[in-house]
Structure 1
Amino acid sequence: MLIYRCCFIGLLLLAPVLGARAQAPADTLRRPRVVALDTVAVAPLAVDTQGWLLLDADIRQELGGAVANMYNFKFDRAERQFRSLRRRYPQHPMPYFLLGLNTWWKMMPSNLTDEKYDRLFLAYMDTAVAQAKHRYDADKNNYEACFFLAAAYGFEARLYGQRNALAKATLCSKRALGYIERSRDANGLSPEFLLGQGLFNYYADLVGEQHPWLKPVLLFFPRGDRVLGLQQVRTVAAEGFYTRTEARIQLIDILEGPREKNPAAAVAVCRQLLAEFPDNAYVQREYAKLCFVSGDVPQCIQTSQQLLDKINLGLPGYEATSGRYAAYYLGYYNQFYHRNLAAAKDNYLRCIVFAETSGQTQQRYYVFANGNLAKIALEEHDEAAARRYYQAVVEHADRSLPIRAEAEKYLRPKKGR
């Protein structure tokens, strides 16, 4: 959802704290898990947690609906509830972090390409950092402060990575990893603290390969453990309160990824999320994509049509990026399954319009839509249209794509002309 597509390290770093946005509704509260004290560095009662909103049962009860609203893209409702929390706790990092998360999810449907929320998002995260740092400086055992510091720096690292501000991304990454490591002792206090470590364990060995510029940062931290990391993420997905939903979103990425290669399991997790948050454009788009990849034609068609319908209704988060996906899938099925070329052309043209209006013409679905339109044009003996669509492929497709070679071959001057 989410996600290491923007900046691998940002994904690792934001994990332990995303849960502040990921709590379940109040009617799904779970009993506290029993923790074996010999498995954690600090026994739960050994730390003074007075004043920690993260572990406050009343705050959890109050914010359950607010976070559910945010995940269901009812941003205005969620913001009013988070602002109410800020009025009562103006010196605590949690309300600023939650307001930042609410802003972050407004950015998610565009795959973080929309920059209009950047300044507001960074302002909220910077304020969360300032409030958390004040608490940490006063008490080095304040693991709640570490939780928010790792979260805020991790999100900032991810955004800076997306914006190609690598120096800032590296600095924020180093700081976030440091606070993740310092909060390791808090594992026994709450499963919330496990998610960051779980994702670090799972991805640590890949980060240096994908982003060599981060190797100097990673030298100061323990090596990862893929098996342990996956186990920790699954634990949080099952037992977490704040981090449960975020863990499931991360689990989708893990299960469908090149390591686990288990798209069926990813579909199952995504289906559960969509049942809880039916108006989350990002999750619904992910579900459509997973259905397309796994060959579930009826579900992909149904979900894609729902995406387009919600775009037409102007629902929050349903915009050009989701439209580009949905229109391509419907075009593909109409072309290759139903042989309805008129409908296929209409869908592909909608995909192209969505991509062009959002400035995403370098994306593959835009290229494939043009390539498939060229093939339809050839079937209809419309050479002028075929050349036009193949020319768009040449201008926008990566050289590694076979469709690029196909387009270049067609556009090559033919003998005898």
Structure 2
Amino acid sequence: MSTRIVMILSIWFAGLGIAQAQQAETDSMFFAPSKYLLLDKGLQFRITKAINSMYNFDFATAERDYAVLAIQYPNHPLPEFLVALGYWWRIEVDVTNEKYDAVFLKYLDRAIEKAETIFEEDETNKEAAFFLAAGYGFKGRLYSERKSWTKAAWAGKNALKYMDLSRGEEEFNPELLLGDALFNYFSEWIPENYPLMRPVMALFPKGNKELGLQQLEEVANNAFYTRIEAQYFLFRLYASEEKEPFKALQISEYLHTKFPENPYFHRSYARHLYAVGRWTEAVQQSREILERIDAKKTGYESNSGRYAAFYMAQYNERIGNRAEAKKYYLKTLSYGEESESQESGYYLHSLLQLGKLATEEKNKQLAKDYFKKVKKYAKRKHPAHQAARDYIKKNKL
């Protein structure tokens, strides 16, 4: 259970230092330069296009602009941090893929090194502490995904230390609120869902889930740097923990509309359409995802394909098109095996449905093979495992 705590702590800082370019165009040229680069409105205006390109998975455009930024500010951590953020989004699409880990950590380490140099010269520098908190937070998040718990704990501890040191600058408050929001939400959520963790959580300040959600909403509406990350956390919480699927859909629809080439936002939008029963739109988005995978669009891969193929299968089964339903359930299996996601719900449910369809077609051996696979990949207490056992017994397979 302690591993869950490490993972939660390490993601608090995932949104820090991230520029989101919505406000800059209206007011960027009418403010005096800030002593902190992150708060320089002119800079925000200049990097608007690069930031939006990054979120829209046009990494080449973003990184060309970041290279110019690195020439202008060679001793500042911002350029390397932004490049690292781009690699984080490549990882986010399929966190099981370790292809980008090394280069992601390389740029984070460069950003941390530059921030440490600034901080050593002036320990009152809130911006340096801000980047150190963000850098170590992202490292902790990756290490927790890789189950490197000692490294994750060390990075999370550093992130917390520098997060505290970065407080006190009024202009940073909307951005720092993201960390407070996630802390408030998860420090109450963890003991509710993991009772064995209550003694551990007693060592932390008491949280408040309702306040955490309110703070996330405030960041999502008012922050400049962390707005998109707050919206990312909000739609995930509304979809899974808060059982507010329409709120999740509203946010994911906005993000997909603003960043239509971002595969994570795209598949999330399709998922939330499916969740609320907007079948026609879910099918339209799912078909587009599959087409983009076939076209080898950046970031569109087997993990997104597993989602999209499953929604297509469900829709076709719903309208009675058995041949198309089987076709897409088989695609779900193929994508699941490619991404090594055989224990995922979509993969297991596809096996169940294919087994049921084979039983109805009097192909008992094929049906038995599908149900055996369910029992192989699902844990015994998993509903799919129970369903497979029941179906085998009922149909004497």
Instruction: Give the TM-score, by structure 2 length.
Output: 0.91
Q: CA deviation at 1:328?
A: 0.6
Question: How has the CA–CA distance of structure 1 residues 217 and 224 changed in structure 2, closer, same or farther, with 3 Å as cutoff?
Answer: closer
1-side partners of 2:106 and 2:338: how far apart?
Answer: 28
Indicate the residue corresponding to 1:119 in structure 2: 102
| Alpha-carbon spacing, 1:321–1:86, altered in 2? closer, same or farther (3 Å) | same
Equivalent residue runs for 1:94-243 within 5 Å: 94-110=78-94, 112-207=95-190, 219=203, 222-243=205-226
Structure 2 match to 1:334: 316
Could you tell me how far 1:11 is from its partner in structure 2? 2.0
Q: CA deviation at 1:214?
A: 11
Which secondary structure does the structure 2 equivalent of 1:13 belong to?
coil
Is the 8 Å Cα contact of residues 24 and 244 (structure 1) preserved in structure 2? Answer: no
> Hey, what does 1:343 align to over in structure 2?
324
Question: For the structure 1 residues 202 and 402, does the alpha-carbon distance in structure 2 shift closer, same or farther, using more than 3 Å as the test?
Answer: closer
Is the 8 Å Cα contact of residues 73 and 317 (structure 1) preserved in structure 2?
Answer: yes
Match of 2:55 in 1: 71
Partner in structure 2 of residue 7 of structure 1: 7
1:387 aligns with 2:368: yes
Question: Could you tell me how far 1:127 is from its partner in structure 2?
Answer: 1.4
After superposition, the Cα gap between the structure-2 partners of 1:243 and 1:375, relative to the gap in structure 1 and judged at 3 Å, is same
Residue of structure 2 aligned with 1:308, choices 290, 295, 303: 290
Unaligned runs of 5+ in 2: none
Q: For 1:277 and 1:5, how far apart are their aligned partners in 2?
A: 32
Aligned mates of 1:151, 1:328 — CA distance in 2: 36
* Cα contact 2:6–2:149 (8 A) shared by 1: no
SS of the residue 2:167 aligns to: helix
Gaps of 5+ in 1: 33-44
Aligned mates of 1:5, 1:284 — CA distance in 2: 29
Identify the residue that residue 42 of structure 1 maps to in structure 2. none
> Match of 1:37?
none
Contact conserved, 2:307 with 2:346, CA < 8 A, in 1?
yes
Letter in 2 for 1:298: T
Rate the CA distance shift 1:320–1:189 in 2: closer, same or farther, 3 A: closer
SS of the equivalent of 2:231 reads helix
Report the CA distance shift for 1:145/1:303 in structure 2 as closer, same or farther (over 3 A). Answer: same
C-alpha separation between the residues in 2 aligned to 1:151 and 1:361? 33
Q: Distance in 2 between matches of 1:190 and 1:328?
A: 42
Query: Alignment RMSD, CA only?
Result: 2.8
Deviations 1:95-135 (A, max 9, x none): 1110100111111111x110011111111111111111221
Which amino acid counterpart does residue 376 of structure 2 have in structure 1? Answer: E
Residue aligned with 1:300, SS? helix
| Residue 302 (structure 2) aligned to one of 317, 320, 335 | 320
- For 2:342, the aligned partner's letter is T
Structure 1 residue 233 displacement after superposition: 1.6
CA distance in 2, matches of 1:30, 1:387: 65
- Whether contact under 8 Å (2:28, 2:41) holds in the other structure is no
Distance 1:5 1:409 in 2: 36
Distance 1:315 1:68 in 2: 18
What are the Cα deviations for residues 208-234 of structure 1, in whole angstroms up to 9, with x where unaligned? Answer: 665978976983x53323233222221
Q: Of the candidates 244, 255, 266, which is equivalent to residue 284 of structure 1?
A: 266
Query: 1:40 corresponds to which residue?
Result: none
- The alpha-carbon distance between structure 1 residues 93 and 375, as it changes in their structure 2 partners (threshold 3 A), is same
Following superposition, the deviation at residue 25 of structure 1 comes to 7.4
Find the partner of 2:234 among 251, 258, 261: 251
Q: 1:397 — aligned with what?
A: 378
Report if the CA contact (8 A) 1:23-1:243 is conserved.
no
| 8 Å CA contact 1:24, 1:242 repeated in 2 | no
Partner in structure 1 of residue 357 of structure 2: 376
Q: 1:283-334 CA distances to partner (integer Å, 9 max, x unpaired)?
A: 1111111122222212211111111111111110110000000001110111
Map of 1:33-72 to 2, 5 A cutoff?
50=35, 52-72=36-56
Counterpart of 1:39 in structure 2 is none
Scaled by the length of structure 1, the TM-score of the pair is 0.86
The equivalent of 2:279 in structure 1 is: 297
CA distance in 1, matches of 2:169, 2:54: 27
Spell out, residue by residue over 1:236-272, the C-alpha distance to the aligned partner (whole angstroms, 9 max, x if none): 11111121212111111222232x3211111111111
Tell me how far apart the structure 2 counterparts of residues 212 and 178 of structure 1 sit (CA, whole Å).
Answer: 26
1-structure distance, mates of 2:5, 2:288? 25
Identity in percent? 36
